[in-house]
């Protein structure tokens, strides 16, 4: 319903079109009316008038002209954020309609961190593949930080990732799936010596060939915590890697290789590489793994059902601890 008492609301509801958002996104991308006109095969006066019309609708300037080109105003930054989300929603709608036309019930885009428990992934696929009509699915692996950003920008519908400061805001829902314990994984040639130490010699560990995950990941923070708590300088990693198979391959080639992994992933890497999982406990806990999605997502019901399906068969942390003791 159009609000006649609020001029801005009236203009937004009666005059704002998707083509306005599309033009704003292009102006933000190129920061030049001339380049946008060339890109869209329009004249410069046409683009200038279109921008003036849009600013009339929003009742405020959205760009200012500077020597280096167009710069968004504070209001422009806010509008551009909404414009990008709207354009992403349109692209998603187009893809959804294409898969519906092919007989599917829709499309679900799922983000996954590489260190997801195998049982969790198996449960997710079992549930999703059994749905009728079938869903078209997309899976994308990345860090928790990047996955949360993708969910917020609506390029992913949900993400199996860790709880983090990025995900504590009210726009996201996060359902707990399970917890993981971090542990040290070392190359076979030096595992025997380190395994005999009642308390790990952190100074000795600092001289080994470290494999670090990407920055801004909880495992990276655990590694930093190990050294800073012992008053040691954090070593410079020989390799930065995130994929378990890459880490396993590297450990096979590094006689003094060492890394930190969640225990279930560590066992898998050890079985491939011949490396050993040290039993000495690390006194740093990893954030739990959950399923995150936007509170206003149109796929909220489908995602909530997925979360319930994944939680049921996941191995309990106590079971993982027993497995570690029996190894």
DSSP 109: E
User: From 1.10.3720.10, 3.40.50.11810, 3.30.365.10, 1.10.10.10, which CATH number describes the 7-85 domain?
Assistant: 1.10.10.10
pLDDT at 152: 93
Cα separation of 157 and 115, whole Å?
19
pLDDT at 170: 84
CATH architecture label of 182-277: 3-Layer(aba) Sandwich (3.40)
**Nearest residue to 286 (alpha-carbon basis) of 320, 250, 322:** 320
- Cα atoms in the 13 Å half-sphere on the side-chain side of 82: 12
Asked whether the domain spanning 182-277 has the same topology as the one spanning 7-85, the reply is no
Q: What's the token pair of residue 27? A: 């102006």
Q: Look up the CATH number of domain 103-179+288-326.
A: 3.40.190.10
Dmax (CA) for the chain in angstroms is 78
290 forms beta bridges with 161, 176
Give the model confidence (pLDDT) of 14-66 as tens digits. Answer: 999 999 999 999 999 999 999 999 999 999 999 999 999 999 999 999 999 99
**Nearest residue to 269 (alpha-carbon basis) of 204, 198, 185, 148:** 185
Domain boundaries, the chain: 7-85, 103-179+288-326, 182-277
* Cβ neighbour number for residue 179 with a 10 Å cutoff: 16
Give the model confidence (pLDDT) of 133-147 as tens digits. Answer: 999 999 999 999 999
Cα separation of 298 and 302, whole Å?
9
The helix or strand, by DSSP H or E, that contains position 50, with its residue range, turns out to be: helix 44-58
Q: What's the token pair of residue 191? A: 């595992």
Give the model confidence (pLDDT) of 233-291 as tens digits. Answer: 999 999 999 999 999 999 999 999 999 999 999 999 999 999 999 998 887 789 999 99
């Amino acid at each position: 319903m159009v609000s006649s008492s609020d001029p801005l609301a009236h203009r937004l509801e009666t005059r704002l079109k998707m083509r306005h958002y599309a033009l704003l996104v292009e102006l933000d991308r190129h920061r030049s009316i001339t380049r946008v006109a060339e890109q869209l095969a329009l004249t410069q006066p046409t683009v200038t008038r279109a921008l003036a019309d849009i600013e009339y609708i929003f009742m405020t300037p959205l760009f200012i002209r500077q020597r280096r080109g167009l710069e968004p105003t504070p209001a422009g930054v806010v509008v551009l954020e909404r414009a990008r989300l709207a354009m992403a929603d349109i692209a998603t709608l187009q893809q959804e309609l294409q898969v519906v036309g092919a007989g599917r019930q829709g499309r679900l885009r799922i983000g996954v961190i590489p260190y997801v428990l195998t049982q969790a992934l198996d449960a997710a696929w079992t549930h999703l593949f059994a749905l009728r009509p079938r869903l078209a699915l997309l899976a994308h692996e990345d860090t928790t930080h990047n996955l949360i950003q993708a969910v917020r920008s609506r390029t992913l519908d949900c993400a199996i990732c860790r709880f983090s400061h990025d995900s504590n805001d009210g726009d996201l829902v996060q359902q707990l799936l399970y917890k993981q314990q971090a542990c040290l994984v070392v190359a076979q040639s030096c595992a025997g010596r380190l395994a005999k130490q009642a308390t790990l010699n952190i100074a000795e560990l600092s001289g080994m060939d470290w494999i670090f995950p990407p920055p801004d990941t909880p495992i990276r923070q655990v590694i930093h915590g190990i050294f800073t708590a012992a008053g040691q300088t954090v070593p410079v990693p020989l390799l930065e890697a995130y994929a378990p198979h890459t880490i396993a391959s590297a450990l096979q080639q590094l006689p003094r290789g060492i890394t930190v992994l969640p225990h279930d992933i560590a066992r898998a890497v050890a079985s491939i590489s011949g490396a050993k999982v040290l039993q000495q406990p690390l006194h740093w806990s990893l954030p739990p793994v959950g399923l995150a999605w936007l509170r206003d997502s149109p796929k909220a019901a489908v995602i909530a059902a997925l979360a319930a399906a994944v939680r049921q068969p996941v191995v309990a942390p106590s079971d993982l601890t027993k497995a570690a003791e029996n190894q």
